Amino acid sequence: MLNLRGRTVDGPAPGPADVLELVRRQQIQMVDLRFCDLLGGWQHFTLPVEEMGEELFVEGIGFDGSSIRGFQPIHESDMLIVPDPVTARVDPLAKVPTLILTGSIWDPVTREPYSRDPRAVAERAESYLRTTGIATASYWGPEAEFFVFDDVRFDQNQRAGYYFIDAAEGIWNSGREEKPNLGYRPRNKEGYFPVPPTDSLQDFRSEVVLKLRAAGIPVEVHHHEVATAGQCEIDLRFSTLTEMADRLLMYKYILRAYARERFKTVTFMPKPLFGDNGSGMHVHQSLWRDEVNLFADPAGYAGVSELARYYIGGLLAHSPALLAFCAPTTNSYRRLVPGYEAPVNLVYSQRNRSAAVRIPVYSTNPRAIRVEYRPPDPTANPYLAFAAMLLAGLDGIARKLDPGSPMDVDLYELEPHEAAQVRQVPGSLGEVLDALEADHDFLLQGGVFTEDLIQTWITHKRKKEIDPVRLRPHPWEFFLYYDA
């Protein structure tokens, strides 16, 4: 694997000299510096390898922060990116041999980490966890689902708004004249998981897995997902918080770039198709003290400890605010709709996929015990979302928040008076932003998040996303009201 990660487990963390040795050994010609904007987009610029020396890892290199979403105003635009040697990976897709280095953002005047840098938030969350004395590490395993389409067109202007999606695998193409049309397409909600040729993306996913492994990212499994038209999932092996967020950005990059090479397009939108399953990002998480899984207790419900139950209590109590970071788009709430198998119920259960928190019971091995938080989706900025979930769980532990009794029944079959007692997630981005505004003290613990970052997030989401969607006519309104 062409990276330096493996040396961080039993030995010292890689340093600049190790990166330079990797550059020499792999005959690298370009160095791509990457960082994450506030909303979760990966940004980059590239240096000829001759311009990289050990001083780059100390002094950093400047860029214009006013051109980055959620960062600086124009009169304070100068920022620094300082690459982290541990993140060095050889790009498995670049035609010119290229090294990818992910960096943190610093203020060039104070030489302090930038408060709105998402990666710095993740690092502060891990540091805060250690200071609590509760655990020494947290482990994270997101399941980021996606669609692979063959064509997408969309536009929005004063007099028109539309999108068109097509996929060779889409069930709607069963009657298309293809001369010959060979059939074998997964019907709506039947994509989980027939073998090829109905699963037309087997080789595509396998090839992506090989690219991920070449970049040093371990993969556990890949498969087709429930929806027609190319819904898929590739599961990464769990890792620590910041490392997993780094991996998830690389995962999204490789998927999109490789799909383009194959004349396909990948989207992580939670709900790109009407009438079929949306894409979530179920996040498995656990707390450890050295080699001991603190969430495991063979005597507990579903094998989880009392500490894990309090952690669940924190996730459930803070879910309305959490979703401002974990399901952060207007499109997220096309997926989180009651009655459509979405995890909208703020309860916990073993095995039950309609609950917001599920405890997987595939294995009784104490090392495999974890909780799975199901409302998030892959539009989330992973640095912020993982950090927010951790802080919610830690608040639950600190306050001993009881999540109540588990719900091991089909929540959609409850009697109306029983269903009315079950709390559900909010139904819109506006509602979760209001919840975040009212409930964010838990995010400020240990200085992990700042008021400035939270208020910047809320303002951006309201002005740049909610308002533009709210102000435009919806196509379905023409069906409903044109002849009113």
The catalytic residues are 64, 143, 145, 225, 233, 282, 353, 372, 374
Contact 428, 369 (CB under 8 A): no
Both tokens assigned to 285:
């998480």
Q: What DSSP element (H or E) covers 314? A: helix 306-317
Rounded to whole angstroms, the Cα distance separating 342 from 333 reads 10
Both tokens assigned to 412:
């959609």
What is the amino acid identity at position 51? E
Torsions phi, psi for 340 (to 5 deg): -125, 35
Report the candidate in 196, 146, 200 with the shortest Cα–Cα distance to residue 169: 200
Both tokens assigned to 59:
């002094």
Report the chain's C-alpha Rg in angstroms.
23
Report the candidate in 346, 331, 322 with the shortest Cα–Cα distance to residue 278: 331
Report the candidate in 180, 142, 465, 194 with the shortest Cα–Cα distance to residue 331: 465
Residue found under tokens 């980490």: 113
Rounded to whole angstroms, the Cα distance separating 373 from 386 reads 11
Which residues fall within 8 angstroms of residue 238, CB to CB, at 6 or more apart?
A: 139, 140, 141, 244, 284
Environment class of 385 (CB within 10 Å of its CB; exposed 0-12, middle 13-18, buried 19+)? buried
Q: Show the beta-strand stretches assigned E in 180-305.
A: 219-224, 231-236, 239-240, 265-267, 281-289, 292-293
- Which sign, positive or negative, has the C-alpha torsion 307, 313, 316, 321? negative
- Residues recorded for the chain: 484
Q: What value, to the nearest 5°, has the Cα angle with vertex 42 and ends 152 and 212?
A: 80
Rounded to whole angstroms, the Cα distance separating 139 from 372 reads 12
Both tokens assigned to 204:
């595509």
Which residues fall within 8 angstroms of residue 190, CB to CB, at 6 or more apart?
A: 226, 228
Rounded to whole angstroms, the Cα distance separating 46 from 389 reads 33
